[in-house]
Structure 1
Amino acid sequence: MKPKIYYVMDTMCGWCYSFSDVVTKIYEEFKDQVDFTIVPAGMWVNKDVKEMTPGFSDFIRENNVRITQLSGKEFGEDYYLMLKDSNTVLDSLPGSKAINVIINLDTQASFSYLKTLQKEFFINGKNMNDVEVYSKIAEDFGIDSDSFKKEFSSKELIDQTFKQFNFASELDVSSYPSLILVNNEKSSLISSGYLPFEEVKTHIEKSIGSLT
């Protein structure tokens, strides 16, 4: 049985966006050696859903400056316009559900789909509470829009998504994004927060060796 890597993240998380190029390269590098699973963490759900205020907008902007300085990932003008809109609501549930639809329908596309989803939010400032945004991306990956929407709206998907939120809590990560490698019931934290590709790659190679 191959080792597993759990990628614990949230589609609304700017640091996860900063890590998107790195984790995509990691997936391509190790996908034949390791089983990868994206685990949406539910950063902003239920009582933690965020309504935009000037103070919260300023907090995000200040955080994004550090993200760009460290990772080089830029944020779009349309995204910053969205942050100025008092009608903006940041809810992690729709994005988490969308990722799970792709996992259920086409696991191989999940990392590329996630990266495209993040671009729509952090560059283009799209309303990520709109199922049409997610279904349009799915069509670009060859997934029928109606099939996507049917899965997206199902009770089974909601149950699956909240089970993943619980699982993310059980993994006991301290921040997003995090990579956890599991092999023979032994686990190792590969990365927490943003790290460059070569550093993450080295950690995985060492962890695979130490857990065998």
Structure 2
Amino acid sequence: MKLVYAFDAYCGWSHGFSGTLGAVVARHPGLPVEVVSGGLFTGARRVPIRAFGYVQGANAEIARLTGAEFGEPYERLIADGSFVMDSEAAARGLAALRRAAPDRAADLAVALQRAFYVDGLSLSDPATLRKVAEDAGLDSGSVAAAFEGAGARAEAEADFRRTASLGVTGFPTLLAVQGDRVTPLAHGHSTADDIDRRLASLTV
């Protein structure tokens, strides 16, 4: 069995799930975790953030329920509503980081979200990928180069297809996959204890 975590780096609820994800991974160190990106803001949804209404209100609810941090640099970045969230670029970023350290994909996904939601950095900027990679002790030059290469673009598209094939309709979603059997463990807000109970029911 393995876990599959489907998220979008530009999804506030995915950011709010970071603490739960970290706890689950820490509690089950022998359980492989596959992390795949969703395409939440692609195509016609790749528009200025003001098009999505009162984002701060949703973020306040996420923070209340999960304790997630939304930093002042992030608030400044989105203040005038012109920032464009590009999930394809974010997925390329995850692909580049994941390629550099496949066994750390969950931690790197969390770090990528912190770069946006706490540090207020665009996930379309290669400099952001350099910083995330450097902070993680990875080769920042290689990660930045991979981010801008054709391989990461292909991996991002493959991630989008993977999430769709698993029946994922929203983010974050955590699944347990055993062969052809796919069992939802969490969708949106959940606690590590809740997930542990669902995992235990699969192994008895």
TM-score w.r.t. structure 1 length?
0.89
Amino acid at match of 1:12: Y
The count of aligned residue pairs is 204
Task: Please say if residues 24 and 111 of structure 1, whose CA atoms lie closer than 8 Å, have aligned partners that are also in contact.
Answer: yes
Q: Distance in 1 between matches of 2:162 and 2:122?
A: 27
Q: In the TM superposition, what is the alpha-carbon distance from 1:74 to its structure 2 partner? A: 2.9
Residue 19 of structure 1 corresponds to which residue in structure 2? 17
Measure the CA separation in 1 of the matches of 2:139 and 2:153.
20
Match of 1:122 among 117, 124, 134: 117
Runs of at least 4 residues of structure 1 off by over 3 A? Answer: none
Q: Quick check: 1:109 aligned with 2:107?
A: no
SS of structure 1 residue aligned to 2:174: strand
Equivalent residue, structure 1, for 2:37: 40
Cα displacement (A) at 1:25: 1.4
Question: How many percent of aligned residue pairs carry the same amino acid?
Answer: 22
**Mapped contact 2:175–2:186 kept (Cα < 8 A):** yes
Residue segments in structure 1 that go unaligned for 5+ positions in a row: none
SS in 1 for 2:175: strand
Q: Any residues of structure 2 matched to 1:1-212 within 5 Å, and which?
A: 3-32=1-30, 34-53=31-50, 56-58=52-54, 60-209=55-204
Contact 1:190–1:207 under 8 Å retained in 2:
no
1:112-138 CA deviation, whole Å, 9 max, x = no partner?
A: 222222222111211222111111110
**Counterpart Cα distance in 1 of 2:193 and 2:149:** 40
Following superposition, the deviation at residue 142 of structure 1 comes to 2.1
Tell me if structure 1 keeps the 8 A contact 2:91–2:156.
yes
How far residue 57 of structure 1 moved from its aligned partner, in angstroms, is: 4.9
Q: Which moved more, 1:73-82 or 1:189-198?
A: 73-82
Gaps of 5+ in 2: none
Give, in angstroms, the shift of residue 46 of structure 1: 2.5
Partners of 2:36 and 2:185 lie apart in 1 by 15
Distance 1:122 1:78 in 2: 8
Q: Quick one: which amino acid aligns to residue 5 of structure 1?
A: L
Which amino acid is the alignment partner of residue 64 of structure 2?
A: Q
Alignment partners' CA distance in 2, 1:129 and 1:192: 26
Alignment CA distance shift 1:110-1:56 (3 Å) = same
Deviation at residue 7 of structure 1 after TM alignment: 0.2
Deviation at 1:173, TM superposition (A): 2.1
Aligned partners of 1:120 and 1:126 also within 8 Å = yes
